[in-house]
Structure 1
Amino acid sequence: MIRTISIKNTATFDETGIEVSEFKKVNFFYGANGSGKTTISNFIYEPSNPRFPECQLKWENDIELKSLVYNKEFRDRNFGKGTIDGVFTLGQATKEEAELIEEKRKELKELKEKGIQQKSVLDKQVEKRDSLEDDFREEVWTSIYKKHEISFKEAFKGVMQKKPFLARLLDEFENNTSDLKTIEELKERAETILGETPIKIPEIPTIDFERLSEIEQEDIWSKKIIGKSDVEIAKLIQRLNINDWVNEGKKHLQENETCPFCQEETITQSFRNQLESYFDETFTSDTKKTKDLNDDYVRIFENIINELLQIESTEKINKKTKLDLDKFSSLLKTLNSQFLTNKELLNSKLREPSRIIELISTKEQLEEIEQLITTANALIKKHNDIVDNYATERNKLVNEIWKFIIEDNRTRIEYFVKHKNGLQKGIDNIAKKVTELREEYKKLDKEIKELTKNVTSIQPSVDEINQTLKSFGFQNFEIVPSQIGANQYQIQRTDGELAESTLSEGEITFITFLYFLQLVKGSTNEAEITDERILVIDDPISSLDSNVLFVVSSLLKEITKKIRNNEGNIKQLILLTHNVYFHKEVSFINGRTKECNETNFWILRKIDNISYLQDFELVNPIQNSYELLWRELKNKDNNSGIAIQNTMRRIIENYFKILGKYGDDDLIDKFNNPQEKEICRSLICWINEGSHTIPDDLFVELQDNTIENYFKVFKSIFKETGHIEHYNMMMN
């Protein structure tokens, strides 16, 4: 059966729409034209139609049944094409064959009930397992994920929602073989490896200062560079210690005799020769060496200082620097100061070659700087090695984090897994039984289809439709075999003319509904005549007169009676109508039963072009109107005998049996005259016969004088029981 339907964003149903969740075996929907009844019936017929993208339909126990839907679209699909598909029923089955098929169908029904029972048990076990899992999921989310979210958030990437987190936790519980580390170690490594993906850091260039140290240690700096001592002028220069002064003055000797010292013309060639001899080749060589060493030292030192300044500048803007910048900057400042001092000493040596100087050794400072760079480069290499093996290192850390979490929560996880596995084992066993029952069901269903296939016929359906047509006065047309194809039929008039295009609206409606009722009992496919199904009927009485309307309601009441009693293969009825009288008739149970727990009622309304649904549950919102019954009786000239019979029965039931506590015999005994007593007895029998059955010979219309005679007796019942005033009031 259908369990729930939801309809929205289609036709007159807005985004809120309606939801029906209390379907019973028999369901009545009352609604005016245009309120959305046909939309409901079309949706049930074809839920996958693109017209219903946001509508949903759910079946009880997820077992989908065949839906037979009667509405305007049904008539368009089956009539208007010239031929009608034949409907197969068990018309040719012998008594033994029919009994065998019925026995098999009972077995099939029992199998289905067992399957539903086992499915129900399965659903409960699944619900119990899911509930256990839901509770555990909330527990681990709060006590594990939230606890470690800040420290190990990156390790939880991809499972940062409750369901995937639990799935990962259970997977790690089963498969994680990593080493167990402490939480402190994991957090420390997580700061480096987790977080932003690391990138390689360039190594800091190393400084070559070997040559600088060599220059600083040169012997030339402690050597007095003076002229040749065996020259005559040497004694004076050395005694006066003016070696550097004379050497400097020598550079200013001119070609003439003017002395650069006294500016007198005292310079002779002999004096020139003595100066040249004094400042000999050794002197020249030593002073040149001093100058060259000075130039090299300054150049190398300036290059080193520039490189170190560049390193300092680069590392200051490097957020990931491994260099001890504070110490590096301090050493660099000291080194620069030493350079300036040594530079000054070297300049003094150049000015005064005879001066002895001692350069400050920068070796210690440079070695410390070199050590800082070496240490930083070692850390950079370690970092870069991690980058090169980042995926491996990261996966290793993540696995170790999960290992810690598993071991820290092992007891509670083991408890959950044990109980879940126990429930799952039970679920698997029950699921296996359900599968076996389904296979057995399919096998038996196939066997029934084979049995019915051999004993089905479409002729009984045709005969029954034609007989019903004649029974209710449709004498001038019938269904006959078509010349076009096998199992195809046409509507033909008595003169042989095809009648489909010339039928009235009422005739088309009635024959369409009779054809639908044959489909209810059979199928156009001979292998499907025993399939279980549901019926959806949308306003089957449009354009019908009251005589035929009563017939349709009587036929439907027989169907609802069988559905409530679990007879046959019709499992559910959904009826939609806009006709109040038809609704009252078809939903009427009897004069004593007002409600049935297998029946539900709704009213469908359209307000401002939007459809709304009101649920009345077991209470029929279209109450049986006592006044309406009398109105029908007053209009007896326009109604058939069948409708009058039913109306009389309903009035007697409501007024005498319900209000007056009269039974049939009580009413009959009110008549003293034996002849009148027999007339009353005959009337009551006639009423009961006509109101509950359709006699086989009803195609013979009742005579008007018969109706009048019994109408007089009906009036006499009120007179003889002392209620003639009530009769007069109701008949006006």
Structure 2
Amino acid sequence: MPVNWRLKLKGFGPFDTQLDWSMSAGSAKVAIYAGNGQGKSTISRLFRLVENPQIPFPSSLITTGSAKGKFSFTVGNGSADLGHVEVDSSTGVDNQLDYLFHVFNSDYVRDNLQSRSYSPSGDIEGYIVGKSNIDLSNERQSLEDVKRKGIDARSALSKELEESKQELVSLGASRVKEFQEINVDFLMNKTVKEDCYADKIEQLKAVDELPDDAQAPDKLHLDDSYLDLDQLASLLERPYSKANFAEAFLEKVRRDAEFIEAGMRIQDGDRCPFCGRRYDEESRLLISQYDSYLKDQEATVIAALKGKQAQLSRLIDDYGRLEAQMLRGSSSYGEMRRGFDDLAKVEFPVLATTADFTTVVNAVIDEIATKNEDITLCVSSEAVGRLRDALGTCQSQLRDANKLIDELAFNLGKSKSRKTTLRKDACAELGKRIRREHREAFEEIASLRSKYRLLEEELKNKEAQSKRSKKDAVARLMANLLKGVFGNRYTFSEADFSICFKGETLGKSADSVLSDGEKAALAFCFYVASTWELINEEEDKNKLFFVIDDPISSMDFNYVYSIMQVIKNLQDTFELSRTRVLLLTHNVAFFNMVMGTKTLNEAWMLDEGKVTEVKNELLAPYAAHLRAINQVANGAAPSHTTGNSIRQILETLMHFEDPSLGTLGDYLESDYGGRLNEVAYLHLICNDQSHGTRTFGYAQPPMDDSTIRRACNAVIEHIRDRYPGQLVTAGVEPSENNSSS
């Protein structure tokens, strides 16, 4: 079945114009050669984004000056479209292709090994489920059915809970932690209890209705200090002698005592204070009698009794006002106490009515009246005693009332915290009510959860019979790969998950022990071994897609050959039904090696934004060098290999034209050199960049880019003059047939 790939790319890395590559081949094992700066690293990084999407999108990938970038990779199998992946700098990664991409590039090395001093991380979790578990579909379906029933039951109960919580929401309780706990999972573990939700919600409403400036009633007070009941009892009970005056006189004085007393206080002894008439002898005699009487004991006692009578009348008035104040305080207290536990069940004291109190006082007044009629009598003070008891009871009730008023005032001062407490209490009590009223629903969910756990455990036990640890799989493969690449020089301890040298664990010291080439080989081995981290079931192996970017940096031939063998053995290593590999390299020799040994089957070249097929499968190093210096001649930046590329081309021409010439310098000075002789520093560039030293020492400054570019241009012109067909064959210039069409 043919493999169809299509890769489109624009706006990332060097791809400021559209790259559109299509391939239809019999194999998914593909190698692409690309020179430095052609964009192979960009392609590998885009595939790595598919493997590990990043948020936010790494803006460093976007081409300088471009508003956005877009990359797509579509795979087909014959006439069937298997799917695609897209990377859009605006929307991110969209993977519609059922592949497990695994990318090796310099970023992988940096993130997984270089940052850890080349000590591989053993922080690997999970298991790989064996093929035998593909027959557990019935068990999985049963597990899924129970899970669905549980979800439906939980959703139905959650809906009931939400409706029950609306009253609390209206009272501002949604902000407390206890409100969040009114959910199925939290209440599931609670025991069934009676609740007092109704009481708490009533209290909360009462407190919530209180105005912010609510004040307790005024304190209550009855001042009876002006009434000396002991003195009154004494006046009543003690007999007094009557005055020695005529009865008619006494009757008149008793009848008009107050008037007479007032006149006696204000008269001046000469004229009447009321009519202004001058006193005659008879008047003076009467005034003298009045004065004598008022100074008499009887008058004093009667005056004292009348004073008490006036005080009692005042007491009745004071009590009437107190009763009205008491009723207002009781009403206010009754409204505000409902929100406070310590007051809610305590009633405000109730005074005797003013009518009842007046009855008690009037009994005392009657006793005074009896005494007034005859002060010689011993009048019982029983009514005074009842009044004393009534006042004592009243004062006691006032103290109780004022204590409640103080407590109410204290609670009102903390009404804000009381609201919070009541909200918490109401939430807790609602939870109890819900747990009790929906007991059957909770029990059903608990039963389904128990059944689910049982089925899940049974399924896990069956899966465990053929599953293996991902960490163990990575360690085992890592040990085998290191043995194949390094022999016994470096080994891998599966127990310690560490590189060992001569039996000693290297750990973080691996960075200082391994050479650069050994580090590169180690990194690639770990990349291949870590493939097991992507696999959850054995069947997942056939979804693997390896993207490998230049795995042989700084390696000598032995390691290069070993890495090639690792790539060639990927199919056997993972027992793949089909191997998918995209290899990107700028090394011509490595490209030729993997193609010449049939490690990979499809050969392509990326150059100047185009991917073309390599027809004869191998690339001539000469052609690669020729393309490299042509790019510099046309404006590309020279690299550290540019001088060596010039030397390779010129020495190839020298050995073709006159093998007897001994050195490159001889060739440049001969007739074969043509106009190359005009570039006096050409040999200097080749010598310095090929051998790593400067001809005239470090006092000689390095050559600038423009100087090297002129040298490259001279070489291209030299070949165009003598062998223009080589430029066509290398793809530097189009053929005449192509140019005319």
Q: Normalising by structure 1, what TM-score?
A: 0.41
